[in-house]
């Protein structure tokens, strides 16, 4: 079997084309979506992600603000910055780049973001709306990207048995809620598994759609995958590789070479889900502007 390769770039380009149409309509009304990204500290990976988001805002023509704070920023100072952005009428989306330095409370920071500007979809009000099928909320961007990729495969989601390995709010739990919803991209039967699940490979091997989001390189091997399954690999892991120019390479949570022959479709790493995350952030920001501005 030769698997269909579900690459992120062409699907992301579809999302950006939709964003362009929405932006043109908003600009005709004198409205310009604005996204603020807050970066605390100097983590290289976080800085790279923020740079990609900033460039995409520029390409699309969104108003973009990047706020860089030192590693030793106090909790009250970070909260004050978020409250200022909540009050800023030119800003429709606020994203605090995670992880934060260890002395800061991520939960408190997320709670301080106005839910209507929480384009990362992590505020409890937005998670609650997701659980209630309330379309006025925001879902986290990576699960939205996974759902869109599954829709674009044309292989179907409704009625399928989905197993998600990973129970984080950022991916596993939120994606489960999305795929359970009624309507396009939903109506699946969802199992959320994790590292403590008994007979995990056996559970996973029953899936029509298998999502790996456990943060362990090559964790999903061929015995996790049934013939003809669709596999979505959310993992992005650095592994040492002396032959690589940078001394490392990026791999997913799936052992791609072992799993690909059994799949109907599979995402690569890199070039798969990661590309979609930024696309869905742009889409969420534009939608936030439309909802806030009326």
Q: Are 235 and 214 in contact (CB under 8 A)?
A: yes
Instruction: Please identify every residue annotated as catalytic.
Output: 53, 97, 120
- Burial pattern 187-206, b for ≥16 Cβ within 10 A else e, equals ebebbbbeeebeebeebbbe
> Measured between alpha carbons, how far is residue 249 from residues 153, 243, 276 in Å?
27, 9, 20
Strand-pair partners of 161: 189
Q: Are 177 and 198 in contact (CB under 8 A)?
A: no
E strands along the chain, which residues? 4-5, 34-40, 63-69, 93-96, 161-165, 189-193, 209-212, 229-233, 237-240, 248-251, 263-266
| Dihedral Cα 44, 142, 82, 115, nearest 10 deg | -170
Under 8 Å CB-to-CB from 255, ≥6 apart: which residues?
218, 219, 220, 221, 222
């Amino acid at each position: 079997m030769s698997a269909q390769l579900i690459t992120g770039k062409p699907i992301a380009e579809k999302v950006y084309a939709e964003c362009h149409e929405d932006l043109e309509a908003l600009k005709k009304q004198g409205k310009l979506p604005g996204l603020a990204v807050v970066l605390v500290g100097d983590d290289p990976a976080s800085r790279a992600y923020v740079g990609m988001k900033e460039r995409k805002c520029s390409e699309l023509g969104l108003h973009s603000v990047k706020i860089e704070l030192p590693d030793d920023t106090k909790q009250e100072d970070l909260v004050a910055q978020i409250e200022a952005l909540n009050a800023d009428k030119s800003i429709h989306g606020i994203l605090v780049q995670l992880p934060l330095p260890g002395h800061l409370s991520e939960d408190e920071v997320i709670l301080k973001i106005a839910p209507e500007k929480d384009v990362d979809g992590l505020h409890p009000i937005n998670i609650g709306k997701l659980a209630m099928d309330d379309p006025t909320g925001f879902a986290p961007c990576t699960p939205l990207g996974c759902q869109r990729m599954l829709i674009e495969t044309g292989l179907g989601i409704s009625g399928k048995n989905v197993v998600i390995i990973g129970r984080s709010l950022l991916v596993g739990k939120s994606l489960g809620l999305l795929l359970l919803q009624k309507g396009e991209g939903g109506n699946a039967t969802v199992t959320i598994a994790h590292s403590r699940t008994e007979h995990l490979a056996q559970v996973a091997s029953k899936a029509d759609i298998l999502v790996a989001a456990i943060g362990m390189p090559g964790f999903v091997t061929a015995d996790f995958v049934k013939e003809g399954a669709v596999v979505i690999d959310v993992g992005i892991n650095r592994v040492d590789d002396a032959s690589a120019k940078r001394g490392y390479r990026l791999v997913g949570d799936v052992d791609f070479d072992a799993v690909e022959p059994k799949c109907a479709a599979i995402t690569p790493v890199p070039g798969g889900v990661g590309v979609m995350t930024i696309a869905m952030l742009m889409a969420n920001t534009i939608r936030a502007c439309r909802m806030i501005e009326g």
